[in-house]
Amino acid sequence: VTLHLNPISSVHIHQKPLVFLLNSPLPLIWKLKTERLAPGIRRVFFVSLGSVVQFEKGNFSLSAETEEKFFPEKNEHLLQWAQKEYGAVTSFTELKISRNIYIKVGE
């Protein structure tokens, strides 16, 4: 699955830390494609067991962290866990089948 990350239109270059929970019932290779995300900013990608994140060439991967995590099975429980762990959830998306996911990051 390719995850496309771009800032919202009102932000020229996104310069804030991000945390992503990438959950799947089956192990996946998450391919990251990014545009206009500032280098050197901490970005964390938690993936379900057996999954990996592949970064594009460039220095984005130098400030990104990937960690396998055991997530709650049901989405309601995952959302509650994320809110408890991080204090807020700004976006939650559930897809049954997809090869590309487009996410706008920003305020």
Read off the pLDDT of residues 9-55 as tens digits, 9 standing for 90 and up. Answer: 999 999 999 999 999 999 999 999 998 999 889 999 999 999 999 98
Whole-model pTM?
0.90
Cβ–Cβ under 8 Å, residues 99 and 1: yes
Look at the chain and report how many structural domains it folds into.
1
Cα dihedral sign for 24, 29, 34, 40? positive
Residues of the domain holding 71: 2-105
> Is a pLDDT exceeding 80 seen at residue 58?
no
Residue 107 has what pLDDT?
A: 66
Report in angstroms the alpha-carbon separations of 44 from 4, 9, 67.
Answer: 15, 23, 8
